[in-house]
Structure 1
Amino acid sequence: MIELKQVDVVFTQKKKTTIAVSNVNLSVEKKDIFGIVGYSGAGKSTLVRLINLLQRPTSGEVIIDGVDLTKISHRTLRQQRKQIGMIFQHFNLFNARTVFDNVAFALKYSGLKKAERTEKVTSLLQLVGLEDKAQAYPSQLSGGQKQRVAIARALASDPKILLCDEATSALDPKTTIQILELLQKLNRELDLTIVLITHEMQVVKEICNKVAVMEDGQIIEQGRALDIFSQPQKALTKDFIRTATHIDQALATILEHPQFSNLSPNEWLVELSYVGDETDQPLIAQLFSRFQVTTNILYGNVEIIQGTALGTLVVVLTGNHNQKQKVFDYLKKHRVNATLLKEAHSKHQNLTLVGGA
C-alpha cells in the first residue's frame, strides 16, 4: 500500500543545511493502523507529508499502490492524492461555514449533483456521529466534535489512506480515546489504512498494530506493536514505553517511601514482566512453597496490545540470597523476565542478574 524507499529530505536555507529525514525505508500494508512516534523535531510530520507528496523527497521513492508519486505528472498526482485523506491537530475548519458546508466543501469539484452531495455529506456525518450537528458552526463544537468534522471532510473523496498528524494532541484524554475508537471503526468498516503521527506512545498503544520510532530524522526501530512494547531494543523506545505504561512513575513513588528506599539485607526490589498467556500457573504464589522466598507486590499493571496482555509487577523478594537467585532461574524457565532494581547497600540500579531480563 505505502512504501518509502531510501527517502531523504534535506532543507537548505541561507547556506545552512538541515537533514529532516535520512535514509528512511518504510512499508505500510493495506488496513494497517501504523503509528510513527517520536519527540518534537524527530522528522515525523515531514515524513507523513511525503506520503501524499506535500513534501517532495530530496532523494528516494514514494510508492502508493504501486505508483511512484515522484515520477508522475502534476495532473496524475492530483488524482492520486484523492486516495489520501489527512487530518491535523488543529482541525483547519472554516469558521464561517456550518458543519455540513465544511464537509461539502471537499466535494465542490467532485462532479456530483447537489442531491448526491447532500446525501454523501449526510452519510459521512452519520458515520462520525455528528448527524445532529449539521447546521452548527465550529465555534459551537467541542474539540472532539471539530475533529470528527475534519475526519468526515477527509473521507469525502473515499480515500484508501488516512494520514493523522498529531490528530489527538489538542484533545483531553477522554476525547482522545473516543477519536481513536472512531479511527478503529473506520479502519474496520472502510478497510481504511491509517498512518498516525504522534509523540505519545499511549496513542500507539491504544490502536496501532505496527509502529516505527523516529529520532533525528531516522527510523531507529519498527515492527509489530506487540513486539516493540514487549521487547524494545533502543533506549528511546524503552523511554517512550515506560512513560506510556507508567512504570517509571510507579517506581519513583515506591523509591520515595522510606520502607522501600532502605531495604533490609535480605530484600530485593525486582521488576517482573511477561507477555500473553506465558504464565499459565500462579508462579508468584509458589515462590514461598518452593524456595521459601516471600513476595510483597508493590505495583501491578496489565496492558492489552493488539489483544495480547503485557504484564508488569514490581515486588520485594525477601529470603536467602541463593534462594532468591533460584527464583530468578525459575521465573526465566517460565518465561517471566526478572530484573533486579535495588538491593540493600547497592548503588547499582537496573542491574540484571543471571536469569534476568
Structure 2
Amino acid sequence: MITLKNVSVTFADKEKTVKAVEQVNLEIEKGDVFGIVGYSGAGKSTLVRTMNLLQMPTEGSVIVSNQDLLQLKPKELRKTRKKIGMIFQHFNLMRSRTIAENVAYPLRKSGLSKKDIQEKVADLLGLVGLSDKSSAYPSQLSGGQKQRVAIARALANDPEVLLCDEATSALDPKTTLSILELLKELNQKLALTIVIITHEMQVVKEICHKVAVMENGHVVEKGDLVSIFTEPKEKITKEFINTATHADQAVEKILQHPSLLNLQPNEVLASMSYVGSSTSEPLIAALATRFGVTANILFGNVEILQETPVGHLLVVLSGEARRREKAIAFLKSEQVNVSLIQQQPVIPFVKEKEII
C-alpha cells in the first residue's frame, strides 16, 4: 500500500543544513493501522507529509498503491492525493462555514450533484456520530467533535489511506480514547489504511498493529505491536513503552520504599514479563510447590495488545540461591522474561536544619 524507499528530507538555508529525515525505509500494508512514534523533532511529521508529497523528499521514492508519486504529473498527483486523507492536531476547520459545509468542501469539484453531495455529507456525519450537528459551526463544538468533523471531511473523497498527524494531541484522555475507537471502527468498516503520528505510546498501544520508532530523523526500530512492547531493543523504545505501561514508575516507587524493600539475604527483587498463554498459567504458585520459592508480588498488570495478553510483574523471590536459580530457569522455560533488579540504597529524608 505505502512503500518508502531511502526517503530523506533536508532543509537548508544560508546558516545551516538540517537532515529532518534520513534514509527511511518503511512498508505499510493495506488495512494496517501503523504508528510512527518519536519525541518532538524526531522527524515523524515531516516523514508522514512525504506520503502525500505535502513535503517533497530530497531523495528516495514514495510508492502508494503501486504508484511512484514522484513520477506523477501534477494532474495525476492531484487525483492520487484525493485517495489519501489527512487530519491534523488543530482540526483546520473553516470557522465561517457550517459543519456540513466543512465536510462538503473537498467535494466542490467532484462532479456530484448538490443532492448527492448533501446525501454523502449526511452519511459521513452519521459515520462519525455527528448527524445532529450539520447546521452548527465549529465554535459550537468540543475538541473531540471538531476532530470527528475533520475525520468526516478527510473521508469525503473515499480515501484508501488516512494520515493522522498528532490527531489526538490537543484532546483530553477520555476524548482521545473515543477518537481512537472511531478510527479503529473506520479501519475495520472501510478497510482503511491508517498511519498515526504521535509522541504518545499510549495511543500506539490502543490502536496500532505495527509501529516504527523515530529518533533524529532515523527509524531506529520497527515491528508488530506485541514484539515491540515485549522485546524492545533500543533505549528510546524502552522509554516510550515505560510511559505506556507505567512499569518504570512502579519500580522507582518501590525502590524508594524501605518497608517494601527490606530484602533479606535469601531474597531478590525480580521483574517479569510474559506474553500470550503464559499469562493464564499459575506459574507463580508453581514456584512454591515445585521449588520451595515464595513470590511476593509488589506490582502487576495484564494488558491486551491486539488481542494478545501481555503481563508485567515485580516480585520479591524468597528462597535459597540454588532454589531460586532453578525457579528462574523454570520461568524462562515457560517463555517468561525474568530480570533481577539491583536494589538501590534508600536515601533517608534529612530535615533542612540537620544539614551542616
Report the TM-score, using the length of structure 2 for normalisation: 0.95
Given residue 196 of structure 1, which amino acid in structure 2 is its aligned partner? I
Given residue 203 of structure 1, which amino acid in structure 2 is its aligned partner? V
SS at match of 1:232: coil
The correspondence of residues 146-295 of structure 1 with structure 2, limited to 5 A, is: 146-279=146-279, 281-295=281-295
Given residue 168 of structure 1, which amino acid in structure 2 is its aligned partner? T
- Pair 320,8 (structure 1): closer, same or farther in 2 beyond 3 Å: same
CA deviations on 1:205-253 (whole Å, 9 max, x unpaired) are: 1110011000000101111111111111111111111111110111122
The correspondence of residues 299-318 of structure 1 with structure 2, limited to 5 A, is: 299-318=299-318
- Pair 146,344 (structure 1): closer, same or farther in 2 beyond 3 Å: closer
2:279 touches 2:309 (CA, 8 Å); kept in 1? no
Given residue 251 of structure 1, which amino acid in structure 2 is its aligned partner? V
Q: Distance in 2 between matches of 1:317 and 1:52?
A: 54
1:95 match: 95
Structure 1 position 321, deviation (Å):
1.6
Q: Distance in 1 between matches of 2:80 and 2:306?
A: 31
Q: Distance in 2 between matches of 1:343 and 1:137?
A: 58
SS at match of 2:342: strand
Report the TM-score, using the length of structure 1 for normalisation: 0.94
Q: Distance in 1 between matches of 2:243 and 2:191?
A: 31
- Pair 164,321 (structure 1): closer, same or farther in 2 beyond 3 Å: same
- Pair 231,176 (structure 1): closer, same or farther in 2 beyond 3 Å: same
- Pair 333,70 (structure 1): closer, same or farther in 2 beyond 3 Å: same
1:349 match: none
SS at match of 1:56: coil
Identity rate, percent: 61
Report the RMSD for the aligned CA atoms in angstroms.
1.4
SS at match of 1:14: coil
CA deviations on 1:267-306 (whole Å, 9 max, x unpaired) are: 2111111000035531111211222211111111111111
Q: Distance in 2 between matches of 1:281 and 1:305?
A: 18
Q: Distance in 2 between matches of 1:20 and 1:211?
A: 19
Given residue 123 of structure 2, which amino acid in structure 1 is its aligned partner? S
Q: Which stretch of structure 1 is more off in the superposition, 283-292 or 177-186?
A: 283-292
CA deviations on 1:243-267 (whole Å, 9 max, x unpaired) are: 1111011112212211234422222
Q: Does 1:68 align with 2:76?
A: no
Structure 1: unaligned runs, 5 residues or longer? 347-357
Q: Distance in 1 between matches of 2:253 and 2:88?
A: 36
The correspondence of residues 72-91 of structure 1 with structure 2, limited to 5 A, is: 72-91=72-91
1:87 touches 1:163 (CA, 8 Å); kept in 2? yes
CA deviations on 1:280-338 (whole Å, 9 max, x unpaired) are: 53111121122221111111111111110110011111121221111111111111111
The correspondence of residues 42-57 of structure 1 with structure 2, limited to 5 A, is: 42-57=42-57
SS at match of 2:259: helix
Q: Distance in 2 between matches of 1:323 and 1:259?
A: 25
Q: Distance in 1 between matches of 2:239 and 2:187?
A: 29
Q: Distance in 2 between matches of 1:278 and 1:249?
A: 24
Structure 1 position 107, deviation (Å):
1.2
Q: Which stretch of structure 1 is more off in the superposition, 238-247 or 281-290?
A: 281-290
Q: Distance in 1 between matches of 2:310 and 2:142?
A: 34
Q: Distance in 1 between matches of 2:327 and 2:261?
A: 22
Structure 2: unaligned runs, 5 residues or longer? 347-356
Given residue 44 of structure 2, which amino acid in structure 1 is its aligned partner? K
- Pair 293,127 (structure 1): closer, same or farther in 2 beyond 3 Å: same
Q: Which stretch of structure 1 is more off in the superposition, 150-159 or 316-325?
A: 316-325
* Count, aligned residues: 346
Given residue 252 of structure 1, which amino acid in structure 2 is its aligned partner? E
